[in-house]
Chains A and B, each alone.
Chain A
Amino acid sequence: QKEVEQDPGPLSVPEGAIVSLNCTYSNSAFQYFMWYRQYSRKGPELLMYTYSSGNKEDGRFTAQVDKSSKYISLFIRDSQPSDSATYLCAMIKAGGTSYGKLTFGQGTILTVHP
């Protein structure tokens, strides 16, 4: 079983829809959580970063972390065609020998159609 599970989709939504992307994890040592967006033929770019339970908002994007349930989400409001990309969740453990190493989900392919 993978430490981080993410539904690969693909997910197709109409423009203006609210998108919900989710990851679950199995190891409570994960303490730092990120969402990356990756456009086709590009490297992943950091979208959201959080290390505490609760919500963090940045424009149309909201990252949510529930450590008790080992569950993280990314919400996109008023989705746009330019949001079409692969979204990767990633997390880092607080201890052990995993210094600075990210564990990624599989990535969810999102298409927002006009």
Chain B
Amino acid sequence: DVKVTQSSRYLVKRTGEKVFLECVQDMDHENMFWYRQDPGLGLRLIYFSYDVKMKEKGDIPEGYSVSREKKERFSLILESASTNQTSMYLCASSSPGRGSPLHFGNGTRLTVT
């Protein structure tokens, strides 16, 4: 079974803080993704990566950056957290191939006060 592990289930940060969300997968997947999930808006793609050190912007990259130094680890960085970044953040991975389904972690619920 694919396992995608997100380091924190719940996180509370203050406005202006730099926030790191970590994600690790154990299936040697090339592709990794960061989504955020909000009521009424569904899942929205922030960034994805299809190889080490490679990254591509998703639909809502503003205010975020990512880092992929190792194949199994994909980090999401909030440079200066704001209250509108309060959300559920979901990491996912998939094998190569355009139609490969995603496997998700259990999410990090981030609250920015």
> What residues of chain A have their CB less than 8 Å away from a CB belonging to chain B?
31-32, 34, 36, 41-46, 49, 51, 88, 90, 92-94, 99-102, 104-107
Contacts and interface: CB of A to CB of B under 8 A. Distances in A.
Contacts of B102: 46, 90, 102
Contact of A31 (B31, B99, B106): B99
Nearest to A43: B104
B107 A100 contact: no
Interface stretch (B13-21, B43-51, B61-69, B71-79): B43-51
A33 B42 CA distance: 17
Nearest to B56: A99
Nearest to A105: B42
B99 A92 contact: yes
Contacts of A107: 42
Interface of B: 4, 31, 33, 40, 42-43, 45, 48, 50, 56, 58, 90, 92, 94, 97-107, 109
B111 to A, nearest CB: 14
A46 B98 contact: no
A42 B42 CA distance: 14
Given A43-B106, A100-B31, A49 B101 contact: yes
B94 A100 contact: yes
Nearest to A49: B101
A42 B48 contact: no
Contact of B99 (A42, A45, A51, A106): A51
